[in-house]
């Protein structure tokens, strides 16, 4: 495999997993975190603007595979086409839910598209887990080892969403709102009221997300242990087991630390590191079928993408920092 294109593709997939894990994970946890209409609106408002930017990384990765790795593209389609079909269906279902939920002001309409967001997010996370597991298992996504890897990756997506939700679902600070005072004050006194939608119920979603980080980290750690046991029992092993073992050790250490944290605390950072490991494992431990990249194609892609990549990275960093703020309960998507 050509080093520069391989690193570029790996970087794109790591960026996608780390950033898209926020909105995919929030969608997965929607029924658990958001119980009231205000909480559901805030959760959708928290996830919706984010997916528009993070999908840029996936589109870029697909373009790199199509242009620079035709053998890899053929192998993925041949071995994993049912999983990729489910991935595309989950992607479309989740995005449709985010786009259409607020278009009609009716509770039944909202519930329908909220179910679509949740179902699509779970399918999307599970399909990515099967892609990772299938690649590590040599193209067989139905093996016990691949299924255990898929469960672990799915839990990592949920962990990432919970860590993101612990920040993003905090109600915005109350703004002073003047309302008429009681009659005893002669009607001239003013009371300070919280902005509508910042009731105590709204804070429960962020608290529940913070508590869920420990549980989800433990679930991912247990699934990783099952995957390791399945690899030993069935004899499934990546092409470069030493690299896979090293990455798995890093993932285990990160998850063990997250499982011991009380509340979100450092989980925003540890969840990002944990969800970055699966694509790194595939890149380091699997000898993917590739062909030498023609020099002209590599030069064309380099000249076309080199100026764009720094802007994309800076834009995503700015987007992430901006959207770490508490989400409102109103907006285009909510």
pLDDT value, residue 183: 45
Contact between residue 51 and residue 95 where contact means Cβ atoms under 8 Å apart = yes
Query: What is the band of 162 on the pLDDT scale with cuts at 50, 70, 90?
Result: very high
Query: What is the band of 119 on the pLDDT scale with cuts at 50, 70, 90?
Result: very high
Contact between residue 280 and residue 132 where contact means Cβ atoms under 8 Å apart = no
In sequence order, the β-bridge partners of residue 190 are 180
- CATH architecture classification, 3-170+204-322: Up-down Bundle (1.20)
Local structure of 121: helix, strand or coil: helix
* Residue labelled with tokens 């960093």: 317
Backbone angles phi, psi at 109, to 5 degrees: -60, -45
CA distance 80 to 313: 30
Local structure of 68: helix, strand or coil: helix
pLDDT value, residue 3: 72
pLDDT value, residue 311: 76
DSSP category for residue 307: T
Query: What is the band of 152 on the pLDDT scale with cuts at 50, 70, 90?
Result: very high
pLDDT value, residue 11: 87
pTM of structure: 0.84
- Rg (Cα) of the chain, in Å, rounded? 22
pLDDT in tens, 257-282: 898 886 777 888 899 999 999 999 98
Query: Per mean pLDDT, which range of 85-94, 111-120, 155-164, 189-198 is the poorest?
Result: 189-198
Tokens coding 97: 């839910």
CA distance 189 to 200: 25
More confident residue, 39 or 327: 39
Q: Using the Cα atoms of residue 157, residue 128, residue 5 and residue 249 in order, give the sign of their dihedral.
A: positive
Question: Average model confidence (pLDDT) for the chain?
Answer: 81
Which of these, 55, 120, 59, lies nearest to 92 by C-alpha position? Answer: 120
DSSP category for residue 11: H
Query: Per mean pLDDT, which range of 43-52, 163-172, 182-191, 219-228 is the poorest?
Result: 182-191
- Listed ranges 1-5, 23-27, 203-207, 291-295; the one with the highest mean pLDDT: 23-27
pLDDT value, residue 181: 45
| DSSP-H helix ranges across the chain | 3-28, 30-33, 37-68, 70-100, 107-136, 144-168, 200-234, 241-259, 267-285, 295-305, 308-322
Q: Using H for helix, E for strand and C for coil, what is the string for 128-192?
A: HHHHHHHHHCCCCCCCHHHHHHHHHHHHHHHHHHHHHHHHHCCCCCCCCEEEECCHHHCCCCEEE
pLDDT in tens, 293-305: 667 766 776 677 6
pLDDT value, residue 168: 85
More confident residue, 269 or 291: 269
Q: Is the pLDDT of residue 169 over 80?
A: yes
pLDDT value, residue 188: 38
Counting Cα atoms < 13 Å in the Cβ hemisphere of 281 gives: 30
CA distance 307 to 313: 11
Q: How far is CA 59 from the centre of its chain?
A: 15
DSSP category for residue 260: T
Contact between residue 162 and residue 216 where contact means Cβ atoms under 8 Å apart = yes
pLDDT value, residue 301: 67
Q: Is the pLDDT of residue 175 over 60?
A: no
Percent of the chain at pLDDT > 70 equals 80
């Amino acid at each position: 495999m050509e080093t520069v294109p391989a690193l570029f593709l790996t970087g794109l997939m790591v960026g996608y997993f780390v950033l898209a894990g926020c909105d995919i994970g929030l969608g997965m946890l929607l029924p658990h975190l958001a119980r009231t209409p205000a909480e559901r609106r805030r959760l959708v408002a928290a996830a919706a603007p984010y997916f528009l930017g993070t999908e840029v990384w996936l589109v870029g990765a697909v373009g790199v595979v199509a242009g620079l790795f035709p053998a890899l593209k053929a192998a993925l389609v041949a071995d994993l086409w049912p999983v990729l079909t489910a991935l595309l269906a989950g992607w479309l279902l989740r995005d449709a839910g985010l786009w259409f939920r607020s278009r009609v002001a009716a509770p039944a309409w909202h519930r329908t598209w909220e179910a679509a967001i949740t179902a699509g997010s779970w399918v999307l996370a599970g399909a990515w887990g099967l892609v990772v597991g299938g690649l590590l298992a040599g193209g067989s996504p139905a093996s016990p080892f691949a299924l255990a890897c898929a469960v672990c990756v799915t839990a990592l997506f949920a962990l990432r969403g919970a860590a993101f939700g612990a920040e993003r679902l905090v109600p915005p600070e109350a703004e002073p709102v003047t309302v008429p005072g009681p009659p005893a004050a002669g009607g001239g006194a003013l009371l300070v009221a919280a902005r509508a939608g910042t009731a105590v119920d709204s804070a429960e979603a962020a608290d529940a997300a913070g508590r869920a980080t420990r549980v989800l980290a433990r679930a991912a750690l247990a699934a990783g242990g099952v995957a390791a046991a399945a690899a030993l029992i069935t004899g499934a092993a990546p092409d470069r087991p030493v690299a896979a073992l090293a990455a798995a050790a890093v993932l285990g250490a990160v998850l063990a630390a997250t499982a011991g944290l009380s509340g979100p605390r450092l989980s925003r950072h540890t969840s990002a590191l944990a969800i970055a490991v699966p694509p790194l494992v595939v890149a380091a431990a699997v000898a993917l079928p590739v062909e030498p990249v023609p020099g002209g194609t590599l030069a064309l892609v380099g000249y076309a993408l080199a100026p764009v990549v720094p802007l994309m990275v800076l834009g995503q960093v700015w987007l992430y920092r901006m959207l770490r703020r508490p989400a409102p309960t109103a907006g285009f998507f909510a």
